[in-house]
Structure 1
Amino acid sequence: MFNNILVVCVGNICRSPTAEFLLKQALPHKTVHSAGLGALVDHDTDATAKQVAEQNGLTCPTHKARQLTKELCRQADVILVMESKHKEGITKLAPEARGKTFLLGQWNNNQEIPDPYKKSEEAFQHVYQLIAENSKLWSQKLK
């Protein structure tokens, strides 16, 4: 049913790859990938995001940030975003994807996950915990 999961943020180097790796770990039989509305194309995961994730036991393979496209939206069965404004960005790009686009924090009072980019390690720790908690809730729904 929901076999192709797309995770979206802005740069595709902090939040969305972290959620991608967590969901891949929890849902090994699903296709999980990520993209950014304003991707830093071909960049690897942000060093602090990767360090924090690995400190929490998550393996972070090499990643190449990629730009969100209409085609990626079309192919996805479900699109998970970090903030409400990301839904708006997807709706502008691919209006037909609106009905399958949800906040990662959907099952947690529609919680939004702030961008930690260029902030402190503590900000990255906080955001990692939010992503991990909400990814776990989604993985339970998508199994």
Structure 2
Amino acid sequence: MTQRILFLCEGNICRSPMAEAMLKAVLPDRTVSSAGLNALVGMPPADYACEVMSTRGISIQAHRAQQISHKMFVDADLVLVMDSHQRRYVEANFPSFKGRVYRLGEFGRFDVADPYRQSRDVFEQCANSIQVGVSEWVKRILSIG
């Protein structure tokens, strides 16, 4: 059963907090968290990330960036990264977690591009991609329990 889902991105202030919040909104009974491979520890989400999530009726204002830890991997049933590079990095550096690490866009065969320091439109496109990935994963998670 997939109860604990971990989202990873680079800084944990754009993509993974948005993905975490979207999945929590749909699957409130699951434990969903996020972290960064190179987190801007303690920082709030990017302003545009907060804005595009707010338009979806979801607040991520309380989120603070955290660095990935070994314990987070151990605790996760499923780890969702944003792109192919991150997946290769995680599998190379944490080989025992192979088989639990996938791209958020795995089923649609897409990467979620990093919107950091880009326009609000880019953040909106990013959030749309995340929503597609989250929707696909919700189907998979619910089908396996």
On whether the aligned pair clears a TM of 0.5, the verdict is yes
Q: Which residue of 1 aligns with 2:120?
A: 121
Q: Which residue of 1 aligns with 2:101?
A: 101
Q: Which residue of 1 aligns with 2:132?
A: 133
Gaps of 5+ in 2: none
Aligned partners of 1:103, 1:92: CA distance in 2, in Å?
A: 15
Q: For 1:34, what is the secondary structure of its paired residue?
A: strand
Task: Calculate the TM-score normalised by the size of structure 2.
Answer: 0.93
Q: For structure 1, which segment, 126-135 or 51-60, has the greater mean C-alpha deviation from structure 2 after superposition?
A: 51-60
Large movers: runs of 4+ above 4 Å: none
Q: For 1:68, what is the secondary structure of its paired residue?
A: coil
Q: Which residue of 2 aligns with 1:29?
A: 29
Gaps of 5+ in 1: none
Residue 74 (1) aligns with residue 74 (2): yes
Aligned partners of 1:85, 1:37: CA distance in 2, in Å?
A: 11
Q: For structure 1, which segment, 53-62 or 16-25, has the greater mean C-alpha deviation from structure 2 after superposition?
A: 53-62
Q: Is the 8 A contact 2:50 2:61 kept in 1?
A: no
Q: Is the 8 A contact 1:4 1:32 kept in 2?
A: yes
Identity of aligned residues (%): 35
Deviation (angstroms), 1:54: 0.7
Deviations 1:68-87 (A, max 9, x none): 11221111000001001111
Amino acid at match of 2:26: A
Alignment of 1:84-95 (within 5 A): 84-95=84-95
Deviations 1:42-88 (A, max 9, x none): 11111111111112222324011110112211110000010011112
Q: Which residue of 1 aligns with 2:19?
A: 19
Task: Calculate the TM-score normalised by the size of structure 1.
Answer: 0.95
Q: Report the RMSD for the aligned CA atoms in angstroms.
A: 1.1
Deviations 1:3-40 (A, max 9, x none): 01000000000000000000001111100000000000
Q: Is the 8 A contact 1:23 1:32 kept in 2?
A: yes
Q: Is the 8 A contact 1:69 1:93 kept in 2?
A: no
Aligned partners of 1:80, 1:52: CA distance in 2, in Å?
A: 21
Aligned partners of 2:63, 2:81: CA distance in 1, in Å?
A: 18
Q: Is the 8 A contact 1:3 1:77 kept in 2?
A: yes
